[in-house]
Amino acid sequence: MRAVVLTGPHTHAVRTDIPVPRPGPLEVLCQVDSIAICGTDIHIYEGRFPGRWPRAYPFIPGHEWSGTIVELGPQADEFGWHVGQRVAGTSHAGCGYCRMCRIGRYNLCDLYGREPLHHQYGHYSQGADAEYVVHSIKSVVALPDAIDLPLGAMVDTASIALHSVKRPGIEPGDTVVIVGAGPMGLLCADCALALGAGRVIVTGSGERLDRAAGLGFTTINYQTQEPAAAVRELTDGRGAHVAIDTGGTAASIRQAVDVVGKGGRVAFTGVPTGGDSALPLQKIVLEEIDLFGVRANRNTMEEVLPLIVSNRVRVAPLVTHTFRLEDYGEALRTFAERVDGALKVLVKPGAGEPA
């Protein structure tokens, strides 16, 4: 099959001689329709997680995808899966037996990294930037007919956004600040409204912030306004109830803490790759600010599907570019450099029949 193969930091090849993988017990082989690029893909491509994501080269990346089941592994049919079924994939496949998995937090599986008991597809297990991919049945979800197959590649992103806003416990009427107007930020904004937020404010700059305004959100340009002061002005001096950081930078992390008021809750969904951030610990202590880390998603794939179908979580407006598998490098550049206002970029393998 054809596949994108990372051969080292900042280097890749599109190869045509990769063997088609075969599904084992409780696994499915899927023909990939579309893969969405996310910020973590860029960091993996750049080699920012040496020895972890990926563990070694060569490696096939990609973890936000949609496709069609073409082959079942043993026992997969006993759980209702069938050939021809349209699915969306997610990255984590927990062992199912450790304490974390048994309480539903399989994204924190105690056996992380111990294949075949645990997989994280596109991170250290083979990903979906290929014509075919094998996943555990724990890591796919059936797509409703109302969701176009290419947009199924957005389900994992949307499910992470939903997990991100559930972590700090949004209450009806809360004012929520989303730090960052990228795809994850805009999805978090929609999810916050779906959970009952009374008002959602998005901070950012440039074309992405304009897109947030076009989607109906109150916006703050951090380049021309001091975000914390602007939020206080919009909230009678109180600050926000909840903030979600989607940037993962030292500045965005600090901004997320600064914009909340007393008793505020802050969730961090952007994965930091730099040094430690200088948090305002005195404020965190004296104002009882609650901090929540976010690791991918857990059990929110099925929950976000009806929100997408009802258009309460809007995924179609975020897909701005589509590329062939052979143009993977240009797809990465377009996403990373925000070429022509790029938000979410899809890659299409154009699969044929498995060998």
Contact by Cβ (8 Å): 271, 253: no
Are 112 and 200 found together in one domain? no
Please compute, for residue 306, the number of CA atoms within 13 A of its CA located in the half-sphere on the CB side. 3
Q: What does the pLDDT read at residue 105?
A: 96
For residue 355, tell me if it sits in a domain. Answer: no
Q: Which of 43, 86, 42, 37 is nearest to 66 (CA)?
A: 86
Are 138 and 15 found together in one domain? yes
DSSP H or E segment with residue 304: helix 301-309
pLDDT cut 70: percent of the chain above it: 98
Q: Which of 58, 56, 310 is nearest to 194 (CA)?
A: 310
Q: Which of 220, 215, 264 is nearest to 244 (CA)?
A: 264
Question: What CATH code is carried by the domain that includes residue 194?
Answer: 3.40.50.720
Contact by Cβ (8 Å): 118, 93: yes
Q: What is the mean pLDDT of residues 24-45?
A: 97
Q: How confident is the model at residue 138 (pLDDT cuts 50, 70, 90)?
A: very high
Q: What does the pLDDT read at residue 275?
A: 67
Residues 6+ apart with CB under 8 A from 101: 94, 95, 109, 110
Are 223 and 277 found together in one domain? yes
Radius of gyration of the chain (CA): 20
Are 180 and 270 found together in one domain? yes
Are 243 and 342 found together in one domain? no
Distances (CA, A) of 92 to 121, 155, 156, 311: 7, 14, 11, 26
Q: How confident is the model at residue 352 (pLDDT cuts 50, 70, 90)?
A: very low
Are 115 and 252 found together in one domain? no
E runs forming strands in 205-259: 218-221, 240-245
Q: What does the pLDDT read at residue 353?
A: 44
pLDDT tens track for 102-111: 999 999 999 9
Contact by Cβ (8 Å): 119, 3: no
Question: What CATH code is carried by the domain that includes residue 73?
Answer: 3.90.180.10
Q: What is the mean pLDDT of residues 191-202?
A: 98
**pLDDT over threshold 80, residue 351:** no
Are 42 and 143 found together in one domain? yes
For residue 353, tell me if it sits in a domain. Answer: no
Q: What is the mean pLDDT of residues 9-13?
A: 97
Are 274 and 141 found together in one domain? no
pLDDT tens track for 95-104: 999 999 999 9
Contact by Cβ (8 Å): 323, 347: yes
3-state secondary structure of 239: coil
CB environment 220-250: b (16+ within 10 A), e (fewer): bbbeeeebbebbbebbeeebbbbbbbbbbbe
For residue 163, tell me if it sits in a domain. Answer: no
Let me know how many helices (H) and strands (E) the chain has, helices first.
10, 17
**β-bridge partners, 36:** 64, 346
3-state secondary structure of 292: strand
For residue 19, tell me if it sits in a domain. Answer: yes
Q: Is the dihedral of CA 48, 157, 77, 21 positive or negative?
A: negative
Q: Which of 312, 354, 316 is nearest to 34 (CA)?
A: 316
pLDDT tens track for 311-341: 999 999 999 999 999 999 999 999 999 999 9
Alpha carbons 298 and 272: distance in angstroms, whole number: 20
Q: How confident is the model at residue 260 (pLDDT cuts 50, 70, 90)?
A: very high
**pLDDT over threshold 70, residue 187:** yes
Token readout for 236 is 């009678």
For residue 162, tell me if it sits in a domain. Answer: no
Are 110 and 14 found together in one domain? yes
**pLDDT over threshold 80, residue 70:** yes
Helices (DSSP H) in 71-215: which residue ranges?
A: 99-102, 155-166, 183-194, 206-214
Crossing angle of helices 328-336 and 39-46, rounded to 10°: 110
For residue 354, tell me if it sits in a domain. Answer: no
Are 25 and 137 found together in one domain? yes
**pLDDT over threshold 70, residue 62:** yes
Alpha carbons 283 and 278: distance in angstroms, whole number: 12
Q: 86 lies in which domain range?
A: 3-157+301-307+314-348
Q: What does the pLDDT read at residue 273?
A: 76
**pLDDT over threshold 80, residue 173:** yes
Q: How many residues does the chain have?
A: 355
Are 66 and 205 found together in one domain? no
For residue 288, tell me if it sits in a domain. Answer: yes
- In eight-state DSSP terms, residue 246 is -
Are 272 and 130 found together in one domain? no
Crossing angle of helices 206-214 and 183-194, rounded to 10°: 30
Residues 6+ apart with CB under 8 A from 268: 244, 245, 248, 253, 256, 291, 292, 293, 294
Domain count within the chain? 2
**pLDDT over threshold 90, residue 195:** yes
Q: What is the mean pLDDT of residues 114-126?
A: 96
